[in-house]
Amino acid sequence: MKITGIELFEENIPLKQPFITARRRIDVIKDYVLRISTDEGVYGYGACAPTPVITGDTVGSIACAVKDFIEPLLVGQTVSAELLPMVQSVLFHNTSPKAAADIAIYDLLAKEKGVPLFVYLGGKNEDKCVKTDATVSLSTPEAMVAEAREHLNAGFSALKVKLGGGRMADVERLEKLRDVICGETVLRLDANQGWSVEDAVYISEAAEQMGYNIELIEQPVHYTDLEGMAEVTRRCPFRILADESVFSSADAGRLIRMGACDMINIKLMKCGGIYEGMRIQRLAAEHGIECMLGCMMEGGVSVTAAAHFGAAVGITCYDLDPPYLVHKMPGEGSTVFEGDNILLSKEGIGLGYTKII
Ligand SMILES: [Mg+2]
């Protein structure tokens, strides 16, 4: 099967309510579906979303990376797994457009074999169900209580609470949230780099005293402050999840060596797709480090790809809630987004899409 062309399609997917973290606010998911055409009439689909404050990838840079680097690399090539590392090295950084191309190649590889992507990636040939948390945006305590209540009413048993908005203000947020969150709800606190080491220790201890069931604290300090990450990991009563500090397997190795995290959040937009994501996951597993599979505010295609990857390698911790946060994800196929469940059917081929564009 030979690659004959690559196209990018823009999708704007409105959120039910604004998504707010310590780094940014968005109202609409801007997503780019990448379609690889082949001489056999089979299409491979991938996608990416610009997240300038995290990956540095913008609308313009994504279009440019695809047009000037990825398209010339891939067009004319025979579809094979050998293309995956070539995509990673065709240009520096630009992990989001690389992820889009990587996912589309994996979609084609699985379609060639006639199996779902999670089976191609080594998973068992059975229906899969991935359970995600739901995000409570960083806002006033009252607004956060209302949002948490909404998610719990929708059946979520795990919440990712965005913090990083000032030490005492964050403690106040947590205090107010006790009105709605009971001991059974699993809490993941994500500071998005908004704390100092002392903030992280103080807030974690306060949260512990409030009796919350806290599973992890995510990216407490600035992504470059690995000593700070290591210190929080030593002093904090909860597991520390590295997010913005880990883009690649090289980053993961550095943090693991430094004892700067207990867990790693793999996002396809940070690592350039499934190929590098699997390298991070394997390295982490060798060191007994658990991985979460997360995402940016992305459309359904790349979220589905992340779910296939996680299901294939046995990841149990997911933060893949964009499908739940929008009115409707574009596209049709064998994947079902239902509250906190992402259901992957063994009947689907590749990513399982029958219609995207
Ligand atoms: Mg995060």
CA of 296 to the centre of ligand 1 (A): 8
CA of 54 to the centre of ligand 1 (A): 10
Mean of pLDDT values over 294-310: 98
Set 128, 160, 267, 270: catalytic member? 267
64 has a pLDDT exceeding 90: yes
C-alpha dist (Å) from residue 331 to 84, 264, 309, 338, 341: 25, 30, 20, 15, 17
2 vs 7: CA distance, rounded Å:
15
CA of 220 to the centre of ligand 1 (A): 9
Residue 23 has what pLDDT?
83
Set 67, 162, 270, 328: catalytic member? 162
User: For 310-352, how does the pLDDT look when each residue is reduced to its tens digit (9 = 90+)?
Assistant: 999 999 999 999 999 999 999 999 999 999 999 999 999 999 9
16 is catalytic: no
**CB-count burial class (<10 Å; 0-12, 13-18, 19+) for 310:** buried
45 strand-pairing partners: 35
CA of 357 to the centre of ligand 1 (A): 29
113 is catalytic: no
Sort strands 186-190 and 128-131 into parallel, antiparallel or unpaired.
unpaired
324 vs 328: CA distance, rounded Å:
8
- The 3-state DSSP class for residue 222 equals coil
The candidate with the shortest Cα–Cα distance to 83, out of 7, 5, 3, 6, is 3
Domains of the chain: 3-114 (3.30.390.10), 128-355 (3.20.20.120)
161 has a pLDDT exceeding 90: yes
Find how far residue 27's CA is from the centre of its chain. 18
E runs forming strands in 257-331: 263-267, 290-294, 317-319
User: For 75-96, how does the pLDDT look when each residue is reduced to its tens digit (9 = 90+)?
Assistant: 999 999 999 999 999 999 999 9
CA of 265 to the centre of ligand 1 (A): 8
CA of 219 to the centre of ligand 1 (A): 6
- pLDDT confidence tier of residue 183, bands split at 50, 70 and 90: confident
CA of 192 to the centre of ligand 1 (A): 6
Which residues, other chains included, contact 245 with Cβ-Cβ below 8 Å and sequence gap of 6+? Answer: 219, 223, 224, 226, 229, 251, 255, 260, 261
User: For 235-252, how does the pLDDT look when each residue is reduced to its tens digit (9 = 90+)?
Assistant: 999 999 999 999 999 999
pTM: 0.97
CA of 136 to the centre of ligand 1 (A): 12
CA of 176 to the centre of ligand 1 (A): 22
* Length of the chain, in residues: 357
C-alpha dist (Å) from residue 330 to 26, 67, 282, 323: 18, 24, 32, 10
